[in-house]
Amino acid sequence: MSIPNYPTQNHLLDALAPQDFEPLAAHLELVPLALGQMLYEPGSQMRHAYFPTTSIVSLHYVTESGASAETAGVGNEGVVGVSLFMGGDSTPSSAVVQTAGHACRLDRNTLKQEFNRAGALQRLLLRYTQALMTQMAQTAVCNRHHSVEQQLCRWLLLTLDRVPGRELVMTQELVASMLGVRRESVTDAAGHLQTQGYIRYRRGHIGVLDRAGLATQVCECYGVVKKELDRLLSDVHHRPPARLSHHVTS
């Protein structure tokens, strides 16, 4: 897969009209994100916001005992770092790269400055924040009331919405950590989905063979999150790719 070289692969940046995008363009940096990379830790001061283009970032909470669970995922539909424009510079959760790829990084001062102009960027980011809150709330409901298999289907479908292919580089240990369940529970759920012919699992990789089949097994939580995101970001404009002026490698 070719390395992305334009920010409009991120739907939020793509939704901005040229006059709203240009003030950001000179400050955006394309950065590679490695699997497992920590973008920020609980309580630490956040210096950048990240607009994923081909990567996916997991927002999750880790308890004092070391147990963890994902509260939301962020891919090319969103931004990591909403605390920067919502009045705080840190959060009690962490952000870890779930799927390696690229993101456009923006320093916090530029983000705050453009957000405080109270223009199109502010309205767009606030609508995305509402969609993110919906995802967090629905994840909490799903984890409490639905089976591990339904949770796994929801997680797989949301991940597929954010990547171009159907082959996911993901271990069962990591999936268990995301869902906040025992690895054995994920093994059982994945095994059943594989028996049904919906997925193919081999160590470190999950291949989705039948997306429509997964959709028949998932709970309503996937549809609620997707519908709300589509509703709030329905005005995404697809413009010619805007190339970055510079790149960084770390």
Annotated domain spans of the chain: 7-142, 147-218
What's the CATH code, domain 147-218?
Answer: 1.10.10.10
Is 7-142 CATH 2.60.120.10? yes
Tokens of 250: 């770390």
Closest CA relative to residue 153, chosen from 131, 186, 195: 186
| Range in 25-34, 84-93, 121-130, 144-153 with the lowest mean pLDDT | 84-93
DSSP state of 204: T
pTM: 0.86
Q: Helix H segments across the chain? A: 11-15, 18-25, 108-115, 120-145, 148-160, 172-179, 183-195, 211-217, 220-232
pLDDT tens digits along 175-213: 888 888 888 999 899 999 999 999 998 877 899 999 999
Q: What pLDDT does 127 receive?
A: 93
Look-up of token digits 């390696």:
100
Tokens of 14: 């793509």
As beta bridge partners, residue 5 has none
CA dist., res. 227 & res. 225, Å (int): 6
For residue 246, what pLDDT band results from cuts at 50, 70 and 90?
very low
